[in-house]
Chain A
Amino acid sequence: MQKMIIIEDDPAISDLIKLNLELAGYECRQAYSGKDAQSVLSGFTPDLILLDISLPDMEGYELMERFRRIEVPVIFLTARNALAEKVKGLKMGADDYIVKPFEAMELLARIEAVLRRYGRKSDRIACGGLEIHLEERTVKRDGAVIELTMKEYELLLLLLGNRNKALSREKILELVWGYEYGGETRTVDIHIQKIRRKLGWEDLIKTVYKFGYRLEVLP
């Protein structure tokens, strides 16, 4: 299980991130100030740091200098949509940034991307009796390869990345087919039917009434 530290002075936002990360299967620690973060980090090496730029006792940038030494990837959170600030953060060695207000799905996607870049995310996912090899782009059940089309495979990855969370049809359409795709949400339903049947996940992929779908697996 990958470990994260959330350095954020606002308890509401800190808790919100924690809830979302834990749901996605990460272990989280929280720190509410720069000093707090340093004491937490003295006995804890996370795989990723989520850092708010404006902390009560110091600027997030100051902490970033220290993080560079321990070589842990950093994603910073900022409420300011100023380009200069993002550039400064990235130049200081942050791996990515996210602007408040953000959606949990976006945060998770960015976390995954950064972890993968650092090779901390294994290229094998096991879930619901399936084994997914990201490098090979194959899905196996008991060693037997299940053939999936491109979109079906991407849809599966999206569901896996947002385990236990409902995804609206619109969101799925946007994330799998892209913004430019003018298709109907019916497309999503058809693809969900197909992967349910192919993977044997009729019970795991739940339909959320008037909303979308949710992959329910025990953490």
Chain B
Amino acid sequence: MKLWQKVFWGTFLLFEVLFNASSFCLIEHNFNQNLVREVDRGLSDQQVLSARMESDWSYFNNLNQLLNTSKEDADDFFSRNASKYLKSFDPDHVSIEIRNERDQTVFSNFSETIAGPRPELDNEKPAVRKYIIRSVGRRSVLFVSGELAVSGRDFKLTYIRDLTGIYEDKQAQIRNFVKINIVIAVVLAGGLYGLIWFLTRSVRQLTRSAQTIASGQYSHRVNVLSKDEIGLLSENFNAMAEAIEEKVVALETADRNRQRFIHYLTHELKTPLTSIIGYADFLRTTPFKEEVFYKSLHYIYGEGKRLESLAFKLMDLILVENSQPRMTVGEIGPVFEEIALTMRPQLEKAQAELMMSVETAKLPMEKDLLQILCTNLIDNSIKASKAGSSIFFRGYRTEDSRYVIEVQDEGIGIPQEDIPKVFEPFFTAGRSRTQPNRGAGLGLAICAEIVRLHKGQLDIQSRLNEGTIVRILLPDDTTNLQLADPYEISRSYNESASRNCAFQTQITNPEGKT
């Protein structure tokens, strides 16, 4: 049963029970009062009558004695004169019956026959008047009997009063009440229904909203209609929906990123594999031809190197994503020196010159990650540069006391529209696959992660065929070390991890299994 039905029936039935009970009590009470009044009246009427009769008889008897007229029988007296006493009463309702001591009816103007015993006539205590209400035919009649003492004889005077009116009144009241009750019930039902419908509309709306959200429309919100408890619930519901939407969007984004990552990774793995397997198969199944042989081996070697570089980059990415960064405050100068040293062979090979200038400073950093970051940036610059050009590697402090690491080259540059995309895994500017020194497209993705872990900013400015400047703004000095509590770091780490979690699951799962 629905809530509105429960409230409706509960209220309706409770009201009906109380209303009926109180109404019936009232009617019953009223009826009883009337009855008591009528009985009292009957009793007093009977008393008055019997007193008058007794006094009339004694007067008449005395008169007879005085006049010495023949002594008259009381039986005759009553049968002759009784009807005169009735004049003062309503003849339709009141009758009297007089019986003598031998239980003979002396007078009666009560037309109906009375069936059954007549306990009111019992004569144990003659002085006490007795009454009874009995049904005679279809009428309810009050019988009040009492002693009528006349000349030592015990007559009985029964005062008979028709009370049918009172009973009929009661029935009429009940009938009226039932009619009123029906009207009230209808009005009440309608009113209650409307009221409950109105009060529960928020709940229904909430239900519909919940269903809408459950069906996947996470941006749906409830209209808050009132300021009562349900209104409060709606507000909280909206807050919950908001939270869910945010989570869902975050999950979807993470999922899309993961899909894209897998997509690119698959491509990057399959392309060199196709070549390596294809050439190897070609060589083993065809007769030896020197030209083809060396060309094939060249490709196998090149594609193998490409796979190797991809594997190393992926390992870097694992390192960045899985290592909890342990920031230590250290001198930046030696780090720069070390980076320059590592990059020397590549620089020499590309005939590029590294121009380094570093302003010493103590910085909170994760040395290994910072090294990966800088070598990646310099590596990108080398790939973009022609032989003989210079690459600038600078470290300096800005006016607002932030430390900047800057790598500048005079290379081919990045098209303006591609700059926002360069941090995506596997993106290579211009998608120039045919270029000989292209990378896997993971370098800047790794850099972005490292910068994020350092709570820094990465800024790229580039002009086609003029060069590129990559600037890393590290946060303001050692004061930030306190801010960078473990929780904060692990959280930002998790956020960044979601970007490439596909990669994590793919690569790190074997470890998890063991």
A residues near B (Cβ < 8 Å) are 9-13, 15-16, 19-20, 23, 32, 54, 56-57, 79-81, 100-104, 164-167, 208, 211, 214, 216
B271-305 near A? 1/0 per residue, CB < 8 Å: 11111011101101111000010011001001100
Q: Are B431 and A165 touching (Cβ within 8 A)?
A: no
**3 closest cross-chain pairs (CB), A and B:** A101-B274, A12-B275, A166-B285
Distance in angstroms from A203 CB to nearest chain B CB is: 14
Q: Are A23 and B286 touching (Cβ within 8 A)?
A: yes
Q: Apart from A15-B295, A19-B292, what are 14 other A-B pairs with CB-CB below 8 Å?
A: A9-B434, A10-B275, A13-B274, A16-B274, A20-B282, A23-B286, A32-B434, A80-B267, A100-B270, A101-B270, A101-B277, A102-B274, A104-B281, A164-B287
Q: Which residue of A lies closest to B303 (CB)?
A: A12
- The residue that A56 contacts in the complex, of B275, B278, B296, B434, with Cβ under 8 A, is B434
State in angstroms the CA–CA spacing of A15 and B292 once bound together: 10
Q: Which residue of A lies closest to B278 (CB)?
A: A16
State in angstroms the CA–CA spacing of A103 and B263 once bound together: 21
Q: Which residue of A lies closest to B259 (CB)?
A: A82
Q: How large is the interface on B (under 10, 10 to 19, 20 to 34, 35 or more residues)?
A: 20 to 34
- What residues of B have a CB within 8 angstroms of the CB of A15 in the complex? 295, 299
State in angstroms the CA–CA spacing of A16 and B279 once bound together: 6
- What residues of A have a CB within 8 angstroms of the CB of B179 in the complex? none
Q: Are B433 and A165 touching (Cβ within 8 A)?
A: no
- A selection of 18 A-B contacts at a CB cut-off of 8 Å is A9-B433, A12-B275, A12-B302, A13-B271, A16-B282, A20-B282, A56-B430, A56-B433, A56-B434, A57-B431, A79-B271, A100-B274, A101-B270, A103-B277, A164-B287, A165-B286, A167-B285, A211-B284
Tell whether A166 pairs with B266 under 8 Å between CB atoms, given A13-B271, A56-B433, A100-B274: no
State in angstroms the CA–CA spacing of A32 and B432 once bound together: 11
Q: Are B270 and A19 touching (Cβ within 8 A)?
A: no
Q: Which of B273, B277, B285 has the most CB of A within 10 A?
A: B285
Q: Which residue of B lies closest to A171 (CB)?
A: B285
Q: Are B267 and A79 touching (Cβ within 8 A)?
A: yes
- The residue that B278 contacts in the complex, of A13, A79, A216, with Cβ under 8 A, is A13
Q: Are A10 and B266 touching (Cβ within 8 A)?
A: no
- What residues of B have a CB within 8 angstroms of the CB of A32 in the complex? 434
Distance in angstroms from B378 CB to nearest chain A CB is: 25
- What residues of A have a CB within 8 angstroms of the CB of B299 in the complex? 12, 15-16
State in angstroms the CA–CA spacing of A121 and B433 once bound together: 34
B156-196 near A? 1/0 per residue, CB < 8 Å: 00000000000000000000000000000000000000000
- The residue that A80 contacts in the complex, of B266, B272, B287, with Cβ under 8 A, is B266
- The residue that B266 contacts in the complex, of A81, A103, A104, A208, with Cβ under 8 A, is A81
State in angstroms the CA–CA spacing of A133 and B442 once bound together: 54
- What residues of B have a CB within 8 angstroms of the CB of A211 in the complex? 284
Q: Which residue of A lies closest to B430 (CB)?
A: A56
- What residues of B have a CB within 8 angstroms of the CB of A16 in the complex? 274-275, 278-279, 282, 299
State in angstroms the CA–CA spacing of A151 and B142 once bound together: 126
- The residue that A79 contacts in the complex, of B270, B279, B296, with Cβ under 8 A, is B270
Q: Are B271 and A100 touching (Cβ within 8 A)?
A: yes
B291-328 near A? 1/0 per residue, CB < 8 Å: 01001100100110000000000000000000000000
Distance in angstroms from A57 CB to nearest chain B CB is: 8
Q: Are A10 and B281 touching (Cβ within 8 A)?
A: no
Distance in angstroms from A177 CB to nearest chain B CB is: 20
- What residues of B have a CB within 8 angstroms of the CB of A9 in the complex? 433-434
- What residues of B have a CB within 8 angstroms of the CB of A167 in the complex? 285
Q: Which residue of A lies closest to B285 (CB)?
A: A166
List residues 248-263 of chain B with CB under 8 A from any CB of chain A: 263
State in angstroms the CA–CA spacing of A57 and B434 once bound together: 12
Q: Are A166 and B284 touching (Cβ within 8 A)?
A: yes
Q: Are B271 and A104 touching (Cβ within 8 A)?
A: no
State in angstroms the CA–CA spacing of A167 and B292 once bound together: 19
- What residues of A have a CB within 8 angstroms of the CB of B274 in the complex? 13, 16, 79, 100-102
State in angstroms the CA–CA spacing of A79 and B263 once bound together: 9
State in angstroms the CA–CA spacing of A164 and B289 once bound together: 12
- What residues of A have a CB within 8 angstroms of the CB of B273 in the complex? 100-101
Distance in angstroms from B253 CB to nearest chain A CB is: 20
Distance in angstroms from A31 CB to nearest chain B CB is: 11
- The residue that A104 contacts in the complex, of B270, B272, B282, with Cβ under 8 A, is B282
State in angstroms the CA–CA spacing of A85 and B284 once bound together: 33
Distance in angstroms from B279 CB to nearest chain A CB is: 6
